Amino acid sequence: MSKYLLLILGMSIVTYIPRLLPFLFIDKSFSKKFERFLLYIPPTALGALIIPGAFEAIPNMPVISIIGLGFALLYSWFRGGLIVSVLGSILVVFIGIYIKGGLI
């Protein structure tokens, strides 16, 4: 066995143990309020990661970034779905840059 394979195996075991322990020791029945709270964690984390980058995506044209983000937000709110929301916001930003004269 190569030393790199042992290193990868060791790192995977070390990272797997903290993920496994809560499932072994925590009772699986949560209150309805706590379950509802847990449902908000993924969108909140994604928002915290994506939104700051969206404002800085086009440094010379921050309004176009905000319009693209607004499209994604409105479409997701009313229609749902991730793929159309992302592709639509990309298209809106592309059109905004094209109209502003940013594309050659």
pLDDT band at 94 (very low <50, low <70, confident <90, very high): very high
Helix residue ranges per DSSP H, the chain: 3-25, 32-39, 41-55, 62-78, 83-100
Quick one: tokens of 34?
Answer: 């706590």
**Contact, 97 vs 64, CB < 8 A?**
yes
User: Tell me: the pLDDT tens digits for 7-63?
Assistant: 999 999 999 998 888 888 877 777 889 889 988 898 888 888 888 888 888 888 888
d(CA 37, CA 48): 17
pTM, two decimals, is 0.58
